[in-house]
Amino acid sequence: MDKVEKICETLTKETLEPAKKKAREIIKNAEREAEELLENARRQSEGAFEEAKKKMIQERRAQETSLKLAVRKSIDKLKYSIEEEIFSKAIDSSVNAALQGPGLVVKIIESMVRAVDKEGIDGDLQLILSQSGLQSDLAKHIQTTIWDRLQKSGVVLGQIKGGAQLKIIEKNLTLDMSQEAIVGLLSSFVRDEVRSLILNHE
């Protein structure tokens, strides 16, 4: 082997072989880093997908809850409308018609006076009627029955639609059988007995 060959062999061993080895290490490290990057990317992608899926489920549940709430509010509003438009107005109209004549109002007044007498209350009484409630027949009845109990405070026209109220002056207590009170009482019975047929359906 001549000197040139020896020099070439020496250069190969001392420079090229280490360089090749280093290159192989660099390539191996690069491949490992590339695999790690791909794995991280895959994990992040899966995590992002799961997060998006979770968020989508949460949003769907929130939408379903909002929809159910909206439906419930609509049903409640419909129930209230039915109650107001059908029951309340019908009851109010029926009571108003019944109280137009003096007959029922007279019975109401008699019932309240009897209740006061039954309790042994002898104090002064004040009768409260609606603005249109003091009809001639009713006035005649009052004069012939309970006028002696009303002489001090008499009969006054109050802010009621119909019916009557009887105020016990000394006790500052009012028996209320006005149209509004009667409607309220009847409405409670209707609510329990009849209204449930429509309003309590889910």
Give the model's pLDDT for residue 195: 55
Q: Please list the pLDDT of the chain residue by residue as tens digits (202 residues).
A: 566 566 666 666 666 666 667 667 777 777 777 787 777 777 777 777 777 778 888 888 888 888 888 888 877 777 777 766 677 777 888 888 878 877 788 888 888 888 888 888 777 888 888 877 666 677 777 777 777 777 676 787 888 888 888 888 878 888 888 888 888 888 777 666 555 655 555 5
Q: What distance separates the 2 farthest-apart alpha carbons in the chain?
A: 158
The one-letter amino acid code at 113 reads V
Q: Fill in the DSSP letter of residue 14.
A: I
* H-helix segments, the chain: 3-11, 17-82, 89-98, 102-118, 136-145, 147-150, 179-190, 196-199
Give the length of the chain. 202
| Residues 6 or more apart in contact with residue 154 via CB below 8 angstroms | 126, 127
Q: In whole angstroms, what is the distance from residue 132 CA to residue 122 CA?
A: 29
Residue located via tokens 């009768």: 127
In this predicted structure, what is the pLDDT of residue 47? 76
Closest CA to 178 of 157, 148, 152: 157
Q: How much is the pLDDT for 113?
A: 84
